[in-house]
Structures are given as structure tokens and as C-alpha cells.
Amino acid sequence: MTKWHGSLEKVDEYRWRIPRSYKAGMRVDGLIYASQSMLESITGEQAPEQVANVAFLPGIVGYSLAMPDIHWGYGFAIGGVAATRVRDGVVSPGGVGFDINCGVRLLRTNLTGEDVLPKIKPLVDALYEAVPSGLGSKGKIRLRPGEIDEVLAKGSRWAVEHGYGRSEDLASTEEYGEMAGADPASVSVRAKERGVPQLGTLGSGNHFLEVALVDHIIEPEVAGTMGINKIGQVMLLIHCGSRGLGYQTADDYIKQMMAAMKRYQIEVPDRQLACAPVESPEGQAYLAAMRCSANYAWANRQAIMHWVREAFCRVLGRCEADAGLELIYDVAHNIAKIEEHEVAGRREMLCVHRKGATRAFPPGHPDVPERYARVGQPVLIPGDMGRVSYVLVGTELAMKETFGSTCHGAGRVKSRTAAKRMLKGSDVLKSLEARGITVRAGSLPGLAEEASEAYKDVTEVVGVAQSTGISRIVARTRPIGVIKG
Amino acid sequence: MKRFALIEHTADTGLVAYGQTLAEAFANAAYGMFAIIADIGTVKEVERRTVELGEEDSESLLFEWLNRLLYFFDVETLIFRRFEITGFDEYHLRASCYGEKYDPSRHHIKIGVKSATYHMLEVDKKKNRVRVIFDV
């Protein structure tokens, strides 16, 4: 790994600036949110260079931002936020990533560890059976020819209309699980072919299902609004995205934009930053297809949640109402959104790219569901599978500083290869079980790649988000059961 | 001659592939990608698919070539192990790919590859060497 030798100026304890003088072509400064102790791993690789490269994008405003979970990605750093003006700026598929609308949803329950721990093994087995996971797995959903277009247009609503979950779930999903402006005609036949068999599958890699217990409540009143009421309460976490449909959509449009860049005479320092003006035909087509992929991901998580509820109730012998399996919220952390923000004292329409970053809107924002209007938008930050996860809320300061964005997870510190060399899947399994975590995984080497040791400590990451004020910590959960693809 | 070598990358993984010709390096990159995904020693050559591509430059050709093979994996669960490149120039590639459908009872899957990326992508026409980073 090559160390980064660029210049980083300390703004305050948690803010580090890459001045635009660092590299000719940067249109704005870069700004990294991190503690002093996190800087070593951040500058130990080329992530700051990627933050600087993103600052080249035409129409970028404010800063090229990096959230505290920043790590080296491809093109954009993971943990990157970039806002470009709609009227004269660009949209970049690389600023969203291949797994469009990879995201997280969190369910509460009325049950506690005492109810669930005696049945944790059968529960984890039942969840593993109920939700197709791992490579090459086929979904249980059979679509009629052409029905994929309805999934792409309606997202979660398609799932609810087909018996996967309840209509009240929609109000607890970012964009209500149905992003407007999704045009199925903008999605290629190949992308649809990849999407059809994979609807309702978890996938592999860092995607997971988790059974967790609340182990710390920092803001009881806010937590109470979300139905997080007591220590030991059982929570369920689902992390996955848009599967092959999203990957193919990203491939298709990155390639198209590569050609379009020549026409629009745009130059960027990394081809993976390929982009086109937001208002160009290429930009609009990408956004329409990206929204379809986002809707597919929401339908996917909605269907998976339905099977999770069924399996949970079956194993615990409770009906759904009695188990209190309510969706707290669902967030997207790989997405681009057209949003209105204040730039230099003026309201401006922006294309906000969040690549491994979560929207974190404050109390009272019109896009925050009514039930959270007083507390702000819930932000879900999964840690690695051996440690803890957090629930946060968005803040006014995030609106002012980060275009209403915050971190999305722990952030890797070790490559997958390094993790596998250091650890054996079977040892990782044993050490998790020694910590009271029951695991079912499709692949043991895959498990080693996702071991705690490969990640930053998520507590440090959310600590920076809290200290800088770009979000507030509400509650913490600890896993007792993990299902990995 | 070594066919490929893995590259470490924090979030992802990549490879450098070699060949006597650029076409062979393209074939070895595909071989390396499936070696990342699965233990291809147990994969038999029972299915054949042909791929025909035309792109604007050789970088896009490599990007599209690898992603097209991932498409076959998603749609038909095909794992390929041999690539016969029957036509090749800077912008075009025609190939027959041999492998079989994923069978969990015989095949060992390692990790998923979501896509090849353009990040650090390199096609070295002098050294007949290509480099690609995958999103995994």
C-alpha cells in the first residue's frame, strides 16, 4: 500500500483540509472528518488523493467531503460526499458506485434477549433458510415477463402490493422506497436479466442479516420515538443492495459517460470518475436508471424483511403484532439525489453523491417522515460483525456542512487478501462464537474477509460524527446472531 | 509463465494478467477473475458461450469483456475456466468461453465480484500486460 504524501491542513480537532492548491484542477478544497488517531490509516493509502480527485468534478460546490469512515475506493473514496450544481455541474456514476442503493434497514421488536437467546441457533438457521444468500443463489420471487419494470418503477410499493410487508413500512423508508423519476426504459436488457433471478436475495461480501440486542441508550427520548425502549431489546438489521441489476446499470453508464466526456470536453484524473452534465441526455438517463436500481434495492430489502419477520415469528412462536416487528427506518448509502441546499447564502438545486455515506436530515426537514419530524432522520450505522452498530439522527449542522450527510459504517482498514492471510475463516467463526455470536455463513474465507480486525472501530467513527455535530448518537446494539452470504 | 497476480486494495481486490500476446493477457485476466470467484479446479468444460465485443478503446474493451462474463455468471450461474480468443484487435474481441453451471455440491465459491472498474485500469500493449481492480 502506498502512503499518501499530500498536504493536509488541520482545521480543528476533527476537520482536515486538502487545499485546492494541492493539485492543479481542483475546483474546491477537500475536507476530511477524522480524529488524529484515524489519520494514520487514512493517509496510509490513497484515499485522500481520491478526495482531491473528486474536487475536479465540474460544478462541485462547498468541499469534496470525506466522512470519518473514509477508505480507499475506486475513483471516489468510500465515505465520500460530493455535491454538484444541477444547472452547470455533472453527475458521476462512480460517485454512487456499482451497488446502487446498497443500504441498511433496522427493525425493532417487543422481545428481549431472555426471549430470544435460548432459541438463537434455530433462529439464525431459520433466517439463513428464509433469505437466499451467497453467490449463485436464486431468489424465490417469480416475476411475470416484463414485471421487472413494475419493480423498477414502484420499488417497495411493488413489494407491499405483492404481499411482502405492510403499507406502513413505506413511511419508514428513505424516499418511501419509491424514488420518483425512475424510468425502466433507461435500464438495459442485460441489467434486467441480471435483476430478475436475484430479486429477494441478500448477495455476498459485506452484506448480512443480524440479530442484535440494544446495549446502550444514549438519548432515551429520541430512541423512544423509534420504539427503542430498553436495554436487551431485540433488533434486526438487514444490509444489502441492488445486486447484479445495479452493477450492470453502473457498468452501462460509466461506459457511456466515458464517451460523453469527450463530447462535453470534461477531463477528470481517474476514469472511474467518468461523468456528464446533470442536465444532459446522458446525465438524465443515468439518473433515471439509477433511481430504478434504487427502487429495485428497496423492493429487495422489503421482500427480505418480510421473510425475516415470518421466520422470526415462527421460531419464537409469536404473531407479528405481538412480536412488534416494526421497521424503524431504511437508509440508502450509495446514491445520488437532487436536493435543495444553501450554497453561499443562496438556495441551490444540487446533485448530492453519497458514496458510502448516509443522508442525515435534521428535525423538521420535509423529507423526514412525520413520526421523526421532531427528532430528525434516523441514521443506521452497522459496525463489523463482531462489534457494535449504532443508531444516530441527522442534524442542522449536517445540513450546513455536509449537505445533510454522515458516515455509513466502520470502513475497512485491511484488504480482503490481508484479512484472509492473517485469519482463518474457521478461527473467526470460533472467536465470534466465544463472544456469544451465532454465525451462519455461505463461505468461510468470506467470513475471514469480514472479520472485525479488517475494519476500523465503528465507535471511533460515530464518535467523530458526534463530536463534529454532523449527527448525534441515539443508541447502540450488539450482535447475537449473524447471517452472511 | 505466470498467468496473473493478485493486487491488494483496501476495499477491493484486483489483478495483473500477463500473456505472450495482448489477447492472451485478456484471457488470463478472465481466468484470474474466475479464480478469485471460485475454485476453478473443479469446474468442467461442459458449456460454451461466445462473446463478441466492439468498444471505443482497449481499456473499455477489457472493462466490458470482464463485465460481460460476470453477466453470464449472474444470469446463468456459469463459471468459466477457459477462454479461447478467436478474434482480437485494439477495439474488438471475439471469444469462446468454456465452463459449467455452478453446482454447490461440487464447486467451491470464494467471493463475489460485483464488477470490474476503470480505477487503475491499464492495458499495456508493449508488455502484453493488463491491470484491473474489481469491486467485490
Q: Domain holding B8: CATH number?
A: 3.55.10.10
In the set A207, A306, A333, A408, the catalytic residue is A408
Instruction: Tell me if B33 is assigned to some domain.
Output: yes
User: Which residue range is the domain that position B52 belongs to?
Assistant: 4-103
- Per CB-CB distance under 8 Å, the chain B contacts of A251 are 63-64, 67, 115
Cβ of A79 under 8 Å from any chain B Cβ?
Answer: no
Whether the pLDDT of residue A136 is over 90: the answer is no
Q: What is the pLDDT of residue A410?
A: 87
Q: Indicate whether B11 pLDDT > 80.
A: no
Q: For residue A134, what are the β-bridge partners?
A: none
User: Any idea what the CATH number is for the domain that residue A176 is in?
Assistant: 3.90.1860.10
Cα dihedral across residues A269, A272, A277, A280: positive or negative? positive
- Give CA–CA dist A17/A30, Å, rounded: 6
In the block, cell 452498530 appears at A389
**Residue B71 belongs to some domain of the structure:** yes
Of A65-69, A106-110, A412-416, A449-453, the range with the lowest mean pLDDT is: A412-416
Is residue A22 scored above 80 in pLDDT? Answer: yes
Q: Do B118 and A271 touch (CB under 8 A)?
A: yes
Calculate what percentage of chain B has a pLDDT beyond 90.
86
Distance in Å, alpha carbon of A224 to nearest chain B alpha carbon: 36
Please state whether beta strands A90-91 and A276-277 pair in parallel, antiparallel, or not at all (unpaired). antiparallel
Q: B12 pLDDT exceeds 80?
A: no
SS3 A332: strand
Residue A423: its pLDDT value, please?
84
Q: Is A279 left (phi over 0), alpha (psi -120 to 50) or beta?
A: alpha
Answer yes or no: is pLDDT of A2 > 70: yes
pLDDT at position B112: 87
Residue (of A39, A21, A38) closest to A30 by Cα position: A21
Does residue B76 lie in a domain region?
yes
Quick check: is A341 catalytic?
no
Provide, as residue numbers in chain A, all residues whose Cβ is less than 8 Å from the Cβ of B135. Answer: 74, 97-99, 247
Task: Return d(Cα A276, Cα A253) in angstroms, integer.
Answer: 10
Cβ <8 Å between B119 and A251? no
Interior angle at CA B53, CA B50 and CA B57, nearest 5: 150
Q: Which three cell numbers stand for residue A347?
A: 438556495
Taking the C-alpha atoms of residue B78 and residue B46, their distance in angstroms, rounded to an integer, is 10
Instruction: Beginning with the edge strand found earlier in the chain, give each strand of the sheet holding B78-88 in spatial order.
Output: B47-54, B92-101, B78-88
- A192-242, pLDDT tens digit by residue? 999 999 999 998 878 999 999 999 999 999 999 999 999 999 999 999 999
Q: Do B74 and A194 touch (CB under 8 A)?
A: yes
Q: Output A453 or A14, whichever has higher pLDDT.
A: A14
pLDDT of residue A296: 98
The answer to whether B115 contacts A73, with C-beta atoms less than 8 Å apart, is: no
| DSSP structural state of residue A370 | G
Structural domain includes residue A68:
yes
Mean of the per-residue pLDDT values of chain A: 95
pLDDT in tens, A388-401: 999 999 999 999 99
CB spacing of B8 vs A418 below 8 angstroms: yes
What per-residue confidence (pLDDT) applies to A1? 65
pLDDT reading at A112 higher than 90? yes
Distances (CA, A) of A411 to A66, A72, A323, B13: 12, 9, 33, 16
The answer to whether the CB atoms of B118 and A97 lie below 8 A apart is no
Mean pLDDT of A266-273: 94
Residue A310 burial by Cβ neighbours in a 10 Å radius (0-12, 13-18, 19+): middle
pLDDT (tens digit, 9 = 90+) per residue, A428-481? 889 899 999 999 988 777 788 888 888 889 999 999 999 999 999 999 999 999
The answer to whether residue B11 is domain-embedded is yes
Select the residue of B8, B64, B111 nearest A446 (Cβ to Cβ): B111
Grid cell 486538502 is found at A18
Domain-embedded: residue B130:
no
The verdict on residue A442 lying in a domain is no
B95 assigned to some structural domain: yes
Overall domain count for chain B: 1
Output the DSSP codes for B65-85: HHHHHHHHHHHH-EEEEEEEE
pLDDT at A373: 97
Q: Say how many C-beta atoms besides its own lie within 10 A of residue B46's C-beta.
A: 9
3-state secondary structure of A468: helix
Model pLDDT, residue A137:
75
Q: Is residue A428 part of a domain?
A: no
* In-domain check, residue B114: no
Q: Rounded to a whole number, what is the distance in Å from the CA of B90 to chain A's nearest CA?
A: 16
Chain B closest-CA separation from residue A244 CA (Å): 7
In a domain, A267, yes or no: yes
pLDDT in tens, B23-78: 999 999 999 999 999 999 999 999 999 999 999 999 999 999 999 999 999 999 99
Half-sphere exposure of A348 (CA within 13 A, CB side): 22
Alpha-carbon dihedral of residues A135, A139, A145, A147, nearest 10 degrees? Answer: -110
* A253/A445 Cα distance (integer angstroms): 32
List residues of chain B with CB under 8 Å from any CB of chain A.
6, 8-13, 37, 55-56, 59-60, 63-64, 67, 70-71, 73-75, 77, 102, 104, 109-112, 114-115, 117-121, 133, 135-136
Nearest alpha carbon to residue A449 among A467, A429, A465, A475: A429
Q: Which of A99, A128, A192, A251 has the most B C-beta neighbours within 10 Å, making it the best mutation to test the interface with B?
A: A251
Q: Which stretch of DSSP H or E encloses residue A156? A: helix A156-161
User: Which residue has cell 502484453?
Assistant: B128
- Residues in A closer than 8 angstroms to B8, CB to CB, are 1, 415, 417-418
Among A47, A197, A274, the residue with its CB nearest the CB of B118 is A274
The owner of cell 472493462 is B63
* Chain B contact present for A421, CB below 8 A: no
CA angle A368/A371/A374 to nearest 5° reads: 70
Range A83-93 average pLDDT: 98
| Contact partners, residue A258, CB within 8 Å, separation at least 6 | A271, A274, B56, B60, B118
Rg (CA), chain A: 21
For residue B111, being part of any structural domain is answered with no
Which residues span the domain enclosing A323?
9-413+455-484
User: Does residue A440 belong to any structural domain of this protein?
Assistant: no
Domain count, chain A: 1
Least confident of A165-174, A363-372, A410-419: A410-419
Percent of chain A with pLDDT over 90: 86
